[in-house]
Chains A and B, each alone.
Chain A
Amino acid sequence: MGCCYSTAMGCCYSFCKEDSGPQSGEVSERTHLLVDPVSNTTNILHVHSDDYVNHYASSVPKKTDEQSALNRILHETAANVIDIGALDSHNLEQHEYMDRSKAYSKRIETVGVKVPDISSCLLTDIPAPERILSTEPLPSADRQLIKDMLDKAVSALGDVKVEHKEDLVVPFLS
Chain B
Amino acid sequence: MNAKEWMRKEDMTTALDCHLGWMRKALGFAQRALEAQEVPVGCIIIYDDKIIANGGNEVNKTKNATRHAEIIAIEEVRTYCAEKKLSSKDVFKSSILYVTVEPCIMCAGALRQIEIPLVVYGCRNERFGGCGSIIDVSCDKAITSNIGPTFDAISGVLADDAVSLLKNFYKGENVNAPDSKRKVKKEQRS
Is A bound to B?
no
Chain A residues near B (Cβ < 8 Å):
none
